[in-house]
A and B are shown apart, each in its own frame.
Chain A
Amino acid sequence: DGGITQSPKYLFRKEGQNVTLSCEQNLNHDAMYWYRQDPGQGLRLIYYSQIVNDFQKGDIAEGYSVSREKKESFPLTVTSAQKNPTAFYLCASSIASGASQYFGPGTRLTVL
């Protein structure tokens, strides 16, 4: 079955540690996105990639980094520079920018 997978579902890290969240899709989509969701707020775009080897900052990119070495993979690293990293992180993909986005199940990151 085609879809998007994110792992792990729950992640705990100590303050000051970098952590990488995985996102894989087998939908053959060109565009991929990372969002952050906080209680009572809409999803906010962290980074997006419209094609392999290219990515752009979203609205809240500070403290995050990404790579897009393969079409199917778009990992997100939450660095120690991110002031408030505890949140729910969602990865999405679409066949092209502007098309309907398909979402992964999300990773809930808690920094202790």
Chain B
Amino acid sequence: KNEVEQSPQNLTAQEGEFITINCSYSVGISALHWLQQHPGGGIVSLFMLSSGKKKHGRLIATINIQEKHSSLHITASHPRDSAVYICAVGGGKTSYDKVIFGPGTSLSVIP
């Protein structure tokens, strides 16, 4: 079993739809990251959170530490949101704050 799992693996949505991507992890963490990787390969950090909820524009990230679960929501989705969304967890009882990456969720938003 992977230490960080994401669902769904692939997602196709119509423009304007509300999108949810889920992340579950099995290790102790100090922070959870949501990253966005565009088709060209570049990665952008969207959120880093350790509790509660954060919002940036149309993106909302939540985390439930007790349930070891996080969700990334996209409101009013747009074709430019098409990308791979990666959940990563950091920290815990390791020699340094190792970051463990999930496999990613590939999102395609069609007009």
Contacts and interface: CB of A to CB of B under 8 A. Distances in A.
B31 interface: yes
B4 A98 contact: no
A44 B102 CA distance: 10
Contact of A105 (B4, B40, B88, B103): B40
B103 A40 contact: yes
B45 A98 contact: no
Given A42-B4, A98-B91, A103 B97 contact: no
B86 interface: yes
Interface of B: 2, 4, 30-31, 33, 35, 40-45, 48, 86, 88, 90-91, 96-104
13 contacts: A35-B101, A42-B86, A42-B102, A43-B86, A43-B88, A50-B96, A88-B41, A98-B96, A101-B33, A103-B44, A103-B45, A106-B43, A108-B41
